[in-house]
Amino acid sequence: MDYSDIASVAGKGGLFKIVKPTRTGVILESLDDKKQKLVASATQRISVLSDISIYTTNQEGSTPLEDVFRKINKEFDDDLGVTATSEPDELKAFLKHILPDYDEQRVYVSDIKKVVNWYNALRENAPELLKEKKEDKKKEKKEPKEQKSKKTEKSE
């Protein structure tokens, strides 16, 4: 599973796994334990997590949500210290800690609440997405080289 396989639907709480496209929309399955299926039509606003980013004041102008989730996981892991029902000042301080250059004018408290809720949903249902990308790539690159060297040792 990847961030491009998970979506948010406007008006529906939580995250959904994209099962498959249809002629008129997409079949989605809730990411929680209920595994409820939903057919989202083309008229509904569906946002894929890989396309979502948080506004920043740096040169790029935004940071992908995927990077933000990985920073949160690296820094806090299971205990965020905030929930979606926390005070607005606490939520802003939390995001400021994770993303010091986030744009306070364009990122609303409701957006931070979504980040917290979505992070918790991913931690429970797809924790592999929160791991560092670089480590995974290094492991994948090392394994084939080690296998090749073992084969060449056997043939010698």
Predicted structure pTM score: 0.77
Region of 15 please: left (phi>0), alpha (psi -120 to 50) or beta.
beta
Distances (CA, A) of 32 to 16, 25, 141: 8, 21, 33
The length of the chain, given as a count of residues: 156
pLDDT for res 39: 87
Q: Hey, how many other C-beta atoms are within 10 angstroms of the C-beta on 71?
A: 16
CATH 2.30.30.730 maps onto the chain at 3-49
pLDDT for res 108: 92
Smallest Cα–Cα separation from 109: which of 127, 131, 130, 92?
92
Each residue's pLDDT tens digit in the chain (156 positions)?
A: 788 888 888 888 888 988 888 888 888 988 887 788 888 887 888 888 889 899 999 888 898 989 888 888 888 877 788 888 889 999 999 999 999 998 899 999 999 999 988 888 888 888 888 777 654 444 444 444 444 444 444 444
pLDDT for res 105: 92
The CATH architecture that domain 52-132 belongs to is Orthogonal Bundle (1.10)
Classify domain 3-49 by CATH number: 2.30.30.730
Asked if 116 contacts 83 with a C-beta cutoff of 8 angstroms, the reply is yes
